[in-house]
Structure 1
Amino acid sequence: MHQYDRLQRILTGKPFHYTVMFFIVASIAAVIGSSFETMRPYRHLLFGINYLASFVFLVEYVLRIVAAPARYPGRSPFRARVRYLFSFYGAVDFVAVLPFLLVYLFKDTPSVHIITLAYIFIVFKLIRHSRSFRFIGEVLSAVREELVTAYTACGIMVCFSAILMYYIERNAQPEAFANIGDGLWWSIVAFTTVGYGDIYPITPLGKLLSSLISLIGIAMIAIPTGIISSSFINLLQQKNKKE
């Protein structure tokens, strides 16, 4: 078990941490740069950066599989590795290495565009290597039950208003409210007070419902915001006391 512990210390050490962080940022920057037409002459260079980063992620992935028994000490080596493979971070690490493993197999096929989409999931690797992202995760985890309750209430209100608005407006404007899905889109836009203006009620009853939903949405969206803010402040105070 000692060799696993030493490997785990390497994986959690600062040199390894900053090396992986560098390649994460470089890969994200390369993906962003490749979307600009002015960067077309440098597409091969940007692809090379992504490919090198994927190789680094592959090495990290293999090392984390090997060191999994040190991360889950109460399990056998096999069970610990299976636990890592099917964990959130294990899934993110696996997706991050897919371009390295598959891009040359499908280089001249339309599937290569789907494979390169895996690069966008590299953003999620920042969660492990960024202290700020980990702190946000702790904040959300501390109030997950309260957030589930709040968002469930919001979902019920959105669905109710979507169905009601569909039956109110479908005869007045059948093209805009062709089905309840259109009503759901309107309800989400109105509930969050975004107001795109592509779908809106024209009947007096529909306008009244829209006004009520917008007012209710302002109040109900503030509930999870307040819950998260309160958790954020509490965890900050706890960390300050420990320090």
Structure 2
Amino acid sequence: MKNNPNNVISPIREKITTLIRHEKLYRSIHRQLMKKWFQYFVLFFIIGSIISIICGSFEESAPYRNWLYLFNYLASFVFTIEYGLRIAAAPVQYAQYKNPWVARLHYIFSFYGLIDFVAVLPFVGIYIYKETPNIHLVVLAYILIIFKLIRYSRSFQMIGTVLKTVKEELITSYTACGIMLGFSGILMYYIERNAQPNAFENIGDGFWWAIVAFTTVGYGDIYPITPIGRLLSSLISLIGIAMIAIPTGIISSAFMNMLIEKKQKAEKEKEKQ
């Protein structure tokens, strides 16, 4: 018997139809996730959860802590649904990956994916740990939901874009700062360890002093008492002011350039209209 072509083509058609349906579903979910009403809805629970965590730390809120806990639990339930929807829509968001499961894994292990996962911990962890001491670890991780605001904040997104554009310059400047901190911290330890062994017990204390002096914070818990140590401390403080100004200037100049470019684009669009 000859093979009927329809017997071969039909399963292929079914697979293609299934893929198209799934892609339409993913795109529909992605469109809903990008709509303002959904973003405002999630944003309400993010801000509400942060406020409830802050309020729950005051003793005056003791009579209302059950309600605050209930709100956080409800918010975590909303975040769980959002997390599931974002996993489903990941193939649309990360269209550069042909395999949808690779796209989902990319989202799961991305910065936003990890933060979204942390946000669902109270909803999942309450059934696992209940009233055990480990539940406090879940609550501690839950405060990381403040980083979910980055996704819905244009200011944070703009800052992230600016940092990406000057990434190499910042790496160079912070590398120079790190070298200077390491050199001064080790040197100060060997200068001061005999004069005040309790203050400079190890090189780690020298690093702590170097960071405090380099950033010109000056806590006063560790400071040099020898003449050479004081001279080095003075030089480090002066160099620190100059070194910290470098990345600040890089970021501010890049930020201003981005604002100028946005204004120019807006003006060109107005002229075209």
Q: 1:161 aligns with which of 168, 171, 184?
A: 184
Contact 1:191 1:213 (C-alpha < 8 Å) held by counterparts:
yes
Once the two structures are superposed, the pairs formed by residues 210-221 of structure 1 within 5 Å of their partners are 210-221=233-244
1:81 to 76, 87, 104: 104
Structure 2 counterpart of 1:102: 125
Equivalent position SS for 2:95: coil
1:192-219, Cα deviation, whole Å (9 max, x unpaired): 0000000000000000000000000000
Note the alpha carbon deviations across 1:135-167, whole angstroms, 9 max, x for none.
111111111111111111001101100000000
Q: Is it true that 1:226 corresponds to 2:249 in the alignment?
A: yes
Return the letter of the residue paired with 1:11: L
Q: Cα deviations across residues 81-106 of structure 1 (Å, max 9, x unaligned)?
A: 11111111111101111111002321
1:73 alignment partner AA: A
- 1:115-151 CA-to-partner distances (Å, cap 9, x unmatched) read 1012211011011111111111111111111111111
Partner secondary structure for residue 176 of structure 1:
coil
Equivalent positions of 1:40-119 (< 5 A) are 40-74=62-96, 75-119=98-142
**Two-structure CA RMSD over aligned residues (Å):** 0.9
Which residue of structure 1 lines up, in the alignment, with residue 151 of structure 2? 128
- Name whichever of 101-110 and 80-89 sits farther off: 101-110
Bigger mean CA deviation after superposition, 47-56 or 186-195: 47-56
Partner of 1:196: 219
Deviates more, 1:42-51 or 1:198-207: 42-51
Partner of 2:262: 239
Q: CA deviation at 1:107?
A: 2.3
Paired residue secondary structure (2:180): helix
Which amino acid in 2 is paired with 1:60?
A: E
SS in 1 for 2:128: coil
Q: Distance in 1 between matches of 2:169 and 2:110?
A: 24
Q: TM-score of the superposition, structure 1-length normalised?
A: 0.98
Distance 1:93 1:236 in 2: 30
CA contact (8 A) 1:99 1:118 kept: no
Aligned length: 243
- Choose from 199, 206, 220 the match for 1:176: 199
CA distance in 1, matches of 2:74, 2:45: 8
Contact 1:4 1:70 in 2 (8 A): yes
Question: What's the counterpart of residue 173 of structure 2?
Answer: 150
Structure 2 CA distance for aligned equivalents of residues 227 and 173 of structure 1: 39
Unpaired stretches in structure 2, ≥5 consecutive residues: 1-22, 267-273
The separation in 2 between residues aligned to 1:208 and 1:239, in whole angstroms, is 48
Give the fraction of aligned pairs with identical amino acids, expressed as a percent. 65
* Moved segments of 4+, more than 2 Å: none
Question: Matched residue of 1:104: which SS?
Answer: helix
Identify the range of structure 1 (64-73 vs 218-227) with the bigger mean alpha-carbon deviation: 64-73
Q: Does the 8 A contact of 1:31 with 1:119 survive in 2?
A: no
Once the 2 structures are TM-superposed, how far is the Cα of residue 34 of structure 1 from its aligned partner? 0.9
- Asked if the contact 1:158/1:187 (under 8 Å) is kept, the reply is yes
Q: CA deviation at 1:242?
A: 1.7
Q: TM-score, normalised by structure 2?
A: 0.87
Per chain length, whose mean CA-contact separation is higher, i.e. which structure has more relative contact order (CA < 8 Å, sep 6+)?
A: 1
